[in-house]
C-alpha cells in the first residue's frame, strides 16, 4: 500500500467561483476520488483514509472553506460549497467520485444532486435526524449555535456541537482543558456551515431522488441505531442507492476497513 507523506499540508490551490481560495492535496493513481470532511475537521482529518486508498485511487483531500489553508468569503451559503467542489473537480480533471463523512456526506449528496460531473458518491453515516425528537433537537441546536457564534462564544459553540454528537458533559469539560481546544475554537464558525448543509436535519428525500449516479451509503454496526437508520434511508431514497454495514465499526470508522469498500465502489 502506498504511504502518503506530509498529508497534513495542502500543497495545491484552486479558486472557487466567488474568488475563495481552496487548498488541496492529491496523491495516488486510479479513478479520481474527492474526500469531503465533516464538522470540526480539515482536509488533514481525511489523510489516513487517503493513504489507505492511494494505491487504488487518485485521491484528493481539501480544506473546506473557512478551514486550514482555504479562505472563507462572506456571506456563506451552501451553494458556495457546492461551487467549491465544482472548482476542485475541474482542477483535477473535470470528473470525480465523491466520498463524504457525516455532514460532509450531506454536502457530497447535494453536490451530486446539483448536476456536478460526479461519477459516483459514497457517504458514511450522514447525520440526518431520524431518531425520535431529532428534528426538534436540531432546531434547538441551530438556534443556540447561531446565538453563541453571534456573541463570539466559540468555546460554547464547540460544546453545543459535542453535546449534539452525544459526548458526555464530563468529557467535554476535560476537552476544554486539552491542548486541542484552541484549534477547535479556531474553526468553530464553520459549525454554522455544516448546520446549513444539514438543512432542517431530515432526510432530503426529493434531493436524493434526483441523484442519477450510483450512491453507496455505509454505516458501522457499532454506531447508534439512528445513524445506521439514516444511512439506510439515504440508500433507499436514492434511485441507484446501495446500503452497506461494516461490522464492528463506529462513527469513527477505521480507514483500513473502509478503504477497500470505497475502492471497490469507485472502481466498478
Structure confidence at residue 5 (pLDDT): 32
User: Which residue, of 195, 213, 242, is where some domain finishes?
Assistant: 195
User: Could you tell me if residue 4 is inside a domain?
Assistant: no
User: Could you tell me if residue 6 is inside a domain?
Assistant: no
Domain count, the chain: 2
Looking at the fold, whether 152 and 124 belong to one and the same domain comes out as no
Looking at the fold, whether 168 and 232 belong to one and the same domain comes out as no
Looking at the fold, whether 138 and 208 belong to one and the same domain comes out as no
Sheet holding 32-36, edge to edge: 12-15, 21-28, 58-62, 32-36, 96-101, 118-124, 215-220, 241-246
Structure confidence at residue 131 (pLDDT): 80
Looking at the fold, whether 213 and 251 belong to one and the same domain comes out as yes
User: Could you tell me if residue 2 is inside a domain?
Assistant: no
Query: Which DSSP helix (H) or strand (E) runs through 232?
Result: helix 225-237
Contact 204, 126 (CB under 8 A): no
Looking at the fold, whether 28 and 115 belong to one and the same domain comes out as yes
Looking at the fold, whether 74 and 174 belong to one and the same domain comes out as no
Structure confidence at residue 9 (pLDDT): 76
What tens digit of pLDDT does each residue of 234-247 get? Answer: 999 999 999 999 99
User: Which residue, of 195, 213, 247, is where some domain finishes?
Assistant: 195
User: Could you tell me if residue 170 is inside a domain?
Assistant: yes
Looking at the fold, whether 112 and 139 belong to one and the same domain comes out as no
Looking at the fold, whether 164 and 254 belong to one and the same domain comes out as no
Helices (H), 9-167: 47-53, 78-91, 103-113, 134-150, 154-164
User: Could you tell me if residue 5 is inside a domain?
Assistant: no
User: Could you tell me if residue 98 is inside a domain?
Assistant: yes
Structure confidence at residue 237 (pLDDT): 98
Its domain, for residue 38, covers 12-128+203-267
User: Which residue, of 177, 195, 213, is where some domain finishes?
Assistant: 195
d(CA 91, CA 168): 42
User: Could you tell me if residue 149 is inside a domain?
Assistant: yes
d(CA 136, CA 142): 10
Calculate helix-pair angle for 103-113, 78-91, nearest 10 degrees: 70
Residues near 112 by beta carbon (within 8 Å), at least 6 away in sequence: 98, 118, 121, 211, 213, 215
User: Could you tell me if residue 253 is inside a domain?
Assistant: yes
Query: How does pLDDT run along the chain (268 residues), one tens digit per residue?
Result: 222 233 447 999 999 999 999 999 999 999 999 999 999 999 999 999 999 999 999 999 999 999 999 999 999 999 999 999 999 999 999 999 999 999 999 999 999 999 999 999 999 999 999 988 888 999 999 999 999 999 999 999 999 999 999 999 999 999 999 999 999 999 999 999 999 999 999 999 999 999 999 999 999 999 999 999 999 999 999 999 999 999 999 999 999 999 999 999 999 8
Looking at the fold, whether 42 and 124 belong to one and the same domain comes out as yes
CATH code of the domain in which 250 resides: 3.40.50.1820
d(CA 81, CA 84): 5
Looking at the fold, whether 152 and 185 belong to one and the same domain comes out as yes
Looking at the fold, whether 115 and 209 belong to one and the same domain comes out as yes
Looking at the fold, whether 98 and 210 belong to one and the same domain comes out as yes
What tens digit of pLDDT does each residue of 201-228 get? Answer: 999 999 999 999 999 999 999 999 999 9
Amino acid at each position: 500500500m502506498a504511504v502518503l507523506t506530509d498529508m497534513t499540508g495542502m500543497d495545491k490551490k484552486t479558486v472557487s467561483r466567488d474568488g475563495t481560495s481552496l487548498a488541496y492535496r492529491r496523491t495516488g493513481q486510479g479513478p479520481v476520488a474527492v474526500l469531503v470532511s465533516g464538522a470540526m475537521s480539515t482536509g488533514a482529518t481525511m489523510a489516513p483514509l487517503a493513504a489507505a486508498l492511494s494505491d487504488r485511487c487518485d485521491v484528493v483531500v481539501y480544506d473546506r472553506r473557512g478551514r486550514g489553508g482555504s479562505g472563507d468569503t462572506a456571506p456563506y451559503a451552501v451553494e458556495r460549497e457546492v461551487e467549491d467542489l465544482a472548482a476542485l473537480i475541474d482542477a483535477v480533471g473535470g470528473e470525480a467520485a465523491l466520498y463524504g463523512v457525516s455532514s460532509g456526506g450531506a454536502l457530497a449528496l447535494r453536490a451530486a444532486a446539483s448536476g456536478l460531473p460526479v461519477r459516483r458518491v459514497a457517504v458514511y453515516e450522514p447525520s440526518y435526524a431520524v431518531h425520535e425528537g431529532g428534528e426538534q433537537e436540531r432546531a434547538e441546536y441551530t438556534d443556540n449555535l447561531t446565538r453563541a457564534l453571534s456573541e463570539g462564544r466559540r468555546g460554547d459553540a464547540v460544546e453545543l456541537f459535542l453535546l449534539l454528537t452525544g459526548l458526555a458533559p464530563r468529557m467535554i469539560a476535560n476537552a476544554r482543558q486539552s491542548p486541542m481546544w484552541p484549534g477547535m475554537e479556531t474553526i468553530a464558525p464553520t459549525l454554522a456551515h455544516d448546520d446549513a448543509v444539514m438543512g432542517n436535519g431530515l432526510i432530503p428525500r426529493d434531493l436524493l431522488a434526483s441523484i442519477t449516479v450510483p450512491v453507496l451509503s455505509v454505516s458501522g454496526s457499532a454506531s447508534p441505531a439512528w445513524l445506521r437508520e439514516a444511512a439506510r434511508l439515504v440508500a433507499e431514497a436514492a434511485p441507484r442507492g446501495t446500503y452497506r454495514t461494516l461490522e464492528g465499526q463506529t462513527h469513527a470508522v477505521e480507514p483500513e476497513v473502509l478503504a477497500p469498500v470505497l475502492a471497490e465502489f469507485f472502481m466498478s
